[in-house]
Copies of this chain bind each other. A is one copy, B any other.
Amino acid sequence: MSCGARASGICAAIEEGDLQRLAALATPIAVPAGRTFITEGDPAEHFFTITAGTAKLFKLLPDGRRQITGFASIGTFLGLAVSSSYAFNAEAVEDSQICRFSRIRLRTLIDDFPALERRLLDVASNELVAAQEQMLLLGRKTARERVASFLLARESGLAGCTTLPRGSILLPMARTDIADYLGLTVETISRTMTRLRSERLIEMRSPTEIVLSNHDRLEALATGMA
């Protein structure tokens, strides 16, 4: 609830007083790291919001190849689906806390909170823009550019959220996850980050804490201008 969960989540559209009623419809669930809580193809009976932690959303090919389509953190709304079954999987990256709502009550919910529909449309529109950006990354950027883009994207959106030194980011997900998100292999991620470090573009406090030392050059790299 700290750092903008309310401001950025779908609840942002809801009056403070109404939050009580909304909360009554939600089932809070603790999800341990590694647990899958949405499975592709399963009937889409619920939708979710993440109240703590991080989840990865992904699709699979029959032979196990995996594409992570996004990471969802605090305040993110999950489960937008027109079809009657989920089109992706969701798994907790770290121990997380989610709120579950019944999908069949979504209609009722929207009737009760009309602003919600507008808000959902905004959420969907934003995700669509992000998805297009990711398609550009996956289809046209080099490994270096992908990693730079990823690191920078991790930086924005956590303003005031953490107690990290300025310019630092935390990577709660494993290298394998980053690889499956960027359409690369673990080895390439590792090598690329090592190279970025040797070029003093980043600094690695630990595998999970990265300092973006040369923001400008990273930015240039990420946008394909280097």
Contact = CB atoms under 8 A, between A and B. Distances in A.
Nearest to A80: B125
Q: How many copies, total?
A: 2
B182 A139 contact: yes
Contact of A63 (B69, B118, B134, B225): B225
B225 A136 contact: no
B129 A131 contact: no
A155 interface: no
A175 interface: no
A65 interface: yes
A129 B121 CA distance: 14
Given A138-B135, A183-B138, A183-B140, A65 B129 contact: no
A63 B131 contact: no
Contacts of A13: none
A223 B61 CA distance: 7
A57 B135 CA distance: 12
B62 A132 contact: no
A183 B69 CA distance: 16
B124 A131 contact: no
Interface centre among A117, A121, A127, A135 (most CB of B within 10 A): A135
A223 B140 CA distance: 22
A52 B127 CA distance: 28
Nearest to A182: B139
